[in-house]
Amino acid sequence: MSPQLREPEQTQVAAIAHYLVGGTAGAVYQVATRRGHRGIASGVFFGLLVWLIGYEVVMPAAAGMPKAHRDRRRRAITILAAHLIYGAALGRVSGVSRTRL
């Protein structure tokens, strides 16, 4: 995060960024997968890709964070687990047909 921002502002910016990135990623998932292929398995795979790109490429370049494989092990595992859960939920919700809602 930017050194000009104090801790509360950094937290707010990070939360907003997560909502924007998560929403955008969800839209990409919808476009990238066919209706019949949406589900928990494809969602988990997608969550893994989001984590891999985000924490091995984007965050180290943009925010100076260590790459996931060089970060503290517990932190990296927690962040990975969160992205797998995000993907599973995304796949589950995306796989539900509109007529069933």
Domain count within the chain? 1
SS3 34: coil
* Confidence check: pLDDT of 2 > 70: no
| Mean pLDDT within 85-96 | 93
- Note the pLDDT of residue 1: 46
Evaluate whether residue 1 is within a structural domain.
no
Query: Per-residue pLDDT tens for 32-56?
Result: 998 889 999 999 999 999 999 999 9
60: closest CA among 76, 45, 48, 47? Answer: 76
In a domain, 50, yes or no: yes
Q: What's the domain range around 79?
A: 7-100
Please tell me the pTM assigned to this model: 0.82
DSSP letter, residue 67? P
Beta carbons of 39 and 84 less than 8 angstroms apart: no
> What's the pLDDT score for residue 10?
82
In a domain, 26, yes or no: yes
